[in-house]
Structure 1
Amino acid sequence: MNFSRRFRASVSALLGVASAAAVTVGGVLAATAPAAAQEPPGPPLRNVKYTVFAEQPFYVDIYYRDVDPPNWAAYSHNPYSFSPKAKAQIGPDQQWNLDVQLADPDQWAMVTATSGPGEAKPNIHCVLAVDGVVVATDQGPKGALCSIRSW
């Protein structure tokens, strides 16, 4: 067998091995692609609007939910990590408003405001709207809680 025929046979054998390796690697890469890239997107986010005001000017503490906790266990382990606190001066002409986006407002939308200890009774009001529709209101002399959750 002459050199050129052996060379062509060697090259042909190498190309066959390289081709088989490429197919194998391609198959392995395709099989190990991250599953997250193939998952459908989550539920659509819904607009939640929180409004707090009072009949008398007053500083209040406001707790609200601005993200969906990943599950009940995570929330119940530390609810305050999912419920930021704001301090705001409110009154009849001074509202505190916040728009957030939640995937499950029926479960997680919530706003509460309190005037704290003391004799003052500013008569606090809250309003919770989802996608532009008011779904909960409350009022009380020293605080109010707006939520649509079932628990």
Structure 2
Amino acid sequence: MAGLFTTTAVLAVASAQAQPVMHQIRYTVGASQDIANAEIYYRDVDPPNWADYSHNPYLYTPNAEVNLGPNQPWVLEATLANPDDWAMVVVGLPGPTTAPLQEPGFVCELRVDDVVVATDSGTKGALCSIRPW
């Protein structure tokens, strides 16, 4: 009976260790003026590894085309196991623009487990990530 208990305990510990700790991610993107069809790319799933990601980054980086404005942010909540590696949101205008937006233009915020870990703003776009891309 002692052997059965030991085997069960080892299997229970192994199963518990196999499950990664999941983190709540909140991406918020906005703009200081009305913008139609802003392009937002974000990560809402952990790629299995860097090789798979680099082979096809768009498979793991969905795109949303949204209208933004001072009172019209885009917000997405996701769950990631490794936000230090994969949490990312970037916003900009599709195609070339003739003139940059007025300051600050685009803004973004990245929260992990309800803690702000990155913010950015810019006239042509903004990138929020923990990892330097």
TM-score by length of 1: 0.72
Query: Who wins on radius of gyration, i.e. which is larger?
Result: 1
1:51 to 28, 45, 48: 28
Tell me the CA shift for residue 149 of structure 1: 1.1
Question: What is the aligned partner in structure 2 of residue 144 from structure 1?
Answer: 126
Does structure 2 retain, via aligned residues, the 8 Å contact 1:128–1:135?
yes
* Residue matched to 2:89: 111
For structure 2, the 5+ residue unaligned runs are 1-10
**Local SS of the residue matching 1:69:** coil
Deviation at 1:150, TM superposition (A): 4.4
CA deviations over 1:44-85 (Å, ceiling 9, x no partner): 110000000000110200000000000000001011100000
Partner residue in 2 for 1:82: 60
Q: 2:112 aligns with which of 126, 130, 143?
A: 130
Amino acid at match of 2:73: Q
Is the contact made by 1:54 and 1:124 (CA closer than 8 Å) also made in structure 2? yes
In angstroms, what is the RMSD of aligned CA positions? Answer: 1.6
Query: Which 4+ runs in 1 deviate beyond 3 A?
Result: 38-41
| TM-score normalised by L of structure 2 | 0.81
Q: Which amino acid counterpart does residue 33 of structure 2 have in structure 1?
A: Q
Q: Counterpart in 1 of 2:101?
A: 121
CA distance in 1, matches of 2:59, 2:112: 23
Q: Does 1:73 align with 2:51?
A: yes
Matching residue within 69, 74, 91 for 1:96: 74
The structure in which a higher percent of residues are strand is: 2
**Structure 1 unaligned blocks of 5 or more:** 1-34
Query: Once the two structures are aligned, what percentage of the paired residues are identical?
Result: 52
Q: Which one scores higher on RCO, CA 8 angstroms, separation ≥ 6?
A: 2
Q: Which has the higher helix share?
A: 1
Secondary structure of 2:65 counterpart: strand
